[in-house]
Structure 1
Amino acid sequence: MSYNVYMLDKKLTDTQQIKRANLLNKSDFFNNVDIISFNEVFDNDSSQIITDGLTKKGFSYFTPVLGRQIIGWDSTEGNWSDSIPEDGGVLIMSKYPIEYKAQYIFSSGCGADAMSQKGFIHAKIRKDNVVFNIIATHTQADDNSCSISGLTPEEIRNQQFTEIRNYIIDKKIPSNEMVVITGDLNVNKGSLEFKRMIELLNVSEPDSYAGADFSWDPNINTLASKSFPDLNGQLLDYILVDKDHLQPPYWHNQVLDVESPRITLSGTIENYYAYDYSDHFPVTAFVYADEKTPTKSFRVNNSPYNAVSLQHVDTKQYVLADPNNADGWLKVGEPATSSEGTFKIDNWIPKNATCLHDGDYVRLSRTDKFKDYYWNWNVTGYYYTTYANASDYLRVHRIVPTTECITNDESVYLYDHSLLGNEKYLLPYSSGIASEDMPIQLNGLFTIKMPPMIYSDWSYKLRYQP
């Protein structure tokens, strides 16, 4: 497995690193894995929690973190420097003995990466009399400030790929051993740079990409969306096999779009929630699938919350937007058109919800011609729609909360408050949608109408042992 866990130093940014590290240790997606290559374990406390926790789960062998220290390695090569403030953030953990471990520091980096000892780890691991040479790395990230260096991030990545290739050649690794290059390579699959990377590293593409399309996706991942809300998903993380050494009969890469338990993050005024262990998803690699291999996505693929109607439980009428007025009042009634009573619900971050939970902060926006007009309220307490300005504290809940996603035909209530006010629940009046003081009463319940939740089928991408 290769996993960029986004554990930046807590002094730089607070993304609940300690909480996420503890949740990772409790997760079950490491269970069917023999070797893990971690990226971005920069935060010392978090990396210690991960190594302590996974050691108890059978990963008894591990390297030091790349670039953090010289002791503990069989060899340190490349451009080691005591003056660079941050380590390289790469760590290998294994259920099988590590017979040799070396660290290599790249000759150059740019932007923020120039402040860390990026490079790669070479670990020899023996399993069932086969030696696996794991080259775990995290190459140069895209960074606008790289222009100062005179080289583009792509040019520096190409240099780094060449350093990896030259290292493998220089070590004269026996051809009956497997050489695996893994990590967040910061190259998007399908790009021209990707083809060049495959050539420079002398690796084969996987026979099957058997999981989610992207390992980094701001459209569905809160932590990625918070930093880059307008970018599309990318496949950046790989586990690739060197062509000149032992070859598997078949090779899968499988991105797992896993969700975490709720994590509370600090917002501008109030906290908000995320359901992600990291801003990346883990990727596994294997020869053949077995009964433990996931055969479908963990997250829905059809954006079911993008077409939601709310039917008042008592009156059976629907919440409607004013079809003739972008800034019109919300009301209840029978929709004259399908879009009049259909709204999109999202979590603020990311823009496309895959699972709404009880108590989540939400935005509701129109799906008709007045796109990006959101529910909000004015001094009278009544709700209307307005452009790009959603009510800040609107939340959704069921009467009896569960850990499952809110789905079609469930009864929910919406509640809200002003900056300094108390919670109030939304309910229909003859003149529109307003709010009343909590606790929730039956007149505030709505039945949510939404498409079924559909998951991606991965089974056709999997090959099982003949």
Structure 2
Amino acid sequence: MGLNNIKFSVGTALLMGAFATQNTLADSYVFITNTTPETVSVQVNHTGTQILQHGNQWAQEATQIAPYETKRVLRMNRYSGLKSGQTYNFDTVVSSGSSQVTFKQSMTGTWYGSTIKHGMQTASTTSPWYTDRNVYRINTVYAGLAAQTAVKAEYTGGYDDFHYTIHQNTVTEPVSNNADEIKVLSYNIYALPMVASKISERLAELPQHLNGYDVILMQEAFSSSRTGMLNQLAQQYPYQTHVPIGSGYNLFDSGVLVLSRYPIVKTAEMIYPDCTGTDCFADKGVIYAEIIKNGKAYHVTSTHTASFDTNEARALRQVQFQQIRQLINQQNIPSFDAVLMGGDFNVNKLLWPQDYQDMLTNLNATAPVSTGYTASTFDPRINKLAGAAGSGGTTVEYLDYVVSSNNHRQPTQSRNDVRILRSAADPLFMTWDLSDHFPVMGHFNYNP
């Protein structure tokens, strides 16, 4: 190729790249996060003193948003074809059943491009127009539950993007005083320093989402921020175990503990003697607690077993389940007492069904039926923290359980209810999730 041809090709490529970049920077996008358990429909209506060309100057990019999913739903060109002094309005209607909210943008053409303002409308309230990048919200009711709509404009280096959410608030679990019913929440809270993001912000927010349970089993409570969180939780859960730690020096302790609404009368623990890979930086283990709820004894364990799916880690997990069983056996628990074992077991029953069966065999336990968000307990498709570097990558996994011992008091009804706990608070806006894992509530009923 001749020198002139090379120069022409390079120049053409640079011009095309610059043109593409200019087009990208000349667009604003609207993103919507659906924090409800139902799929919502999306309809964009465009009005104004002038109408932009559909497909070229604007486009609707989604017609539905699945539960807990974030989608880019609207593209608006902010420069090409806009007339100075003319207005261009976009109303994005999000609906499910009889519930509806509208997310609004209004552009005005200028000699240099456009200005824009944004807002929201619910069944009872229309917001003012906003022109800054603060978080704004409206309290509302959506699908019969307390909810909020919220918006934040985001700086992109070009024209701003807009992030909206229809966000159903966390439903408070009703407190049960029934001695023959117990609600045990297992939660890996992803408080892993040097890896996890926004630890202090998430742990500060967590207590208001953990109301009403009898017992909470925590894992990955490594960060020093746990102290403030546990102090807040002590108002509801005044009985708390220590966090087990190994006899030697390590970067992290076990990160596991038990919190209870009712008295803890006995504890025991085990630091697992073996580890694999980066798990060796923590004193992974299991904590046991005997809890007396209105005269009835419940024996619970919280654990975080070996991570990763190498052959070595998969085999080690099964050994650790046997060690949990040994710890239970050492307590000489009467057969008429209930024994519940929970935690981040790290066995993905979606990928390794035989490992899952081996887990139950080694624990000598029965798993309740799965309810709630049954797709997974770790889902990078909808959880930004799960997809972050240092977490789990792209694999959808079901890892967290509360199971019942076969050798002890048997429940008449039981379920493992996977719950998606999110916050639209300013520090967590666009992060949403409170951990990379979803918590699981083990709900067990027994005959008197």
Residue 302 of structure 2 is aligned to residue 178 of structure 1: no
Instruction: Determine the C-alpha separation between the residues in 1 that align with 2:324 and 2:383.
Output: 31
1:24 to 191, 206, 210: 206
Unaligned runs of 5+ in 2: 1-184
Distance 1:90 1:223 in 2: 20
CA distance change for structure 1 residues 208 and 143 in 2, over 3 Å: closer, same or farther?
A: closer
Q: Percent identity of the aligned residues?
A: 33
Residue matched to 1:255: 418
Task: State the Cα distance separating 1:111 from its structure 2 match.
Answer: 1.0
Given that residues 253 and 284 in structure 1 are in contact (C-alpha distance below 8 angstroms), is that contact kept between their aligned partners in structure 2? yes
Residues 190 and 196 in structure 2, CA contact (< 8 A), matched pair in contact too: no
In structure 2, the partner of 1:212 is 374
Distance 1:66 1:219 in 2: 33
* 1:113 match: 279
User: Are residues 263 and 90 of structure 1, via their aligned partners in 2, closer, same or farther at CA, if it must alter by over 3 Å?
Assistant: farther
Comparing both structures, which one devotes a greater share of its residues to strand? 2
Matched, 1:2 2:180: no
> 1:128 aligns to what?
294
Q: CA–CA distance in 2 between the matches of 1:105 and 1:230? A: 27
CA distance in 2, matches of 1:143, 1:111: 11
What code does the residue aligned with 2:444 have? V
Deviation, 1:285, is: 1.3
Unpaired runs of 5+ residues, structure 1, are 68-79, 145-150, 266-271, 289-463
Q: Given that residues 121 and 135 in structure 1 are in contact (C-alpha distance below 8 angstroms), is that contact kept between their aligned partners in structure 2?
A: yes
**Structure 2 contact 268–288 (Cα < 8 Å) conserved:** yes
Which residue pairs with 1:55 in the alignment? Answer: 234
How many angstroms does 1:264 deviate by?
5.0
TM-superposed CA distance for 1:210, in Å, is 4.2
* Partners of 1:125 and 1:205 in 2: CA distance: 21
- Aligned-pair CA distance for 1:212: 3.4
Letter paired with 1:24 = L
Q: Supply the AA of the counterpart residue of 2:423.
A: S
CA contact (8 A) 1:216 1:280 kept: yes
On the 8 A contact 1:206/1:253 being kept in 2, the answer is yes
Matched, 1:225 2:360: no
Counterpart contact for 1:179–1:241, Cα < 8 Å: yes
Q: Given the superposition, is the C-alpha separation of residues 97 and 230 from structure 1 closer, same or farther in structure 2, using an over 3 Å criterion? A: closer
Once the two structures are TM-superposed, the CA of residue 31 in structure 1 deviates from its matched residue by 1.9
Query: Residue 242 of structure 1 corresponds to which residue in structure 2?
Result: 405
Deviation per residue, 1:44-81 (Å, 9 max, x gap): 2x21021111112x1111011121xxxxxxxxxxxx42
Give me the whole-angstrom Cα distance separating, in 1, the residues matched to 2:188 and 2:370: 21
Q: How does 1:437-456 map to 2 (within 5 A)?
A: none
2:441 match: secondary structure: strand
**Quick check: 204-213 or 16-25, which moved more?**
204-213
> Normalized against structure 2, the TM-score is what?
0.55
- Closer, same or farther in 2 for the Cα pair 1:277/1:170, shift >3 Å? same
Amino acid at match of 1:173: I
Pairwise CA distance, 1:94: 0.6
Change (3 A) 1:263 1:240: farther
Q: Does 1:94 align with 2:260?
A: yes
CA distance in 2, matches of 1:161, 1:114: 18
The answer on whether the counterparts of 1:208 and 1:251 sit within 8 Å (CA) in structure 2 is: no
Q: Is 1:37–2:235 an aligned residue pair?
A: no
SS at match of 1:140: coil
Give the TM-score of the pair, scaled to structure 1: 0.53
1:371-382 paired onto structure 2 within 5 Å: none
Of residues 289, 314, 319, the one that matches 1:159 is: 319
| Residue correspondence of structure 1 range 302-451 to structure 2 within 5 A | none
Contact 1:16 1:263 in 2 (8 A): no
Q: 1:117 to 1:22 in 2, by over 3 A?
A: same
RMSD, aligned CA: 2.2
Contact 1:212–1:256 under 8 Å retained in 2: no
Cα distance change of structure 1 residues 174 and 273 upon mapping to structure 2, 3 Å threshold = same
Amino acid at match of 2:374: A
SS in 1 for 2:430: strand
User: What is the distance in 2 between the residues matched to 1:229 and 1:95?
Assistant: 32
Distance (whole Å) between structure 1 residues aligned to residue 393 and residue 308 of structure 2: 16
Counterpart among 255, 270, 280 of residue 104 in structure 1:
270
The alpha-carbon deviation at position 180 of structure 1 amounts to 0.6
One-letter amino acid matched to 1:5: I
Distance 1:51 1:42 in 2: 12
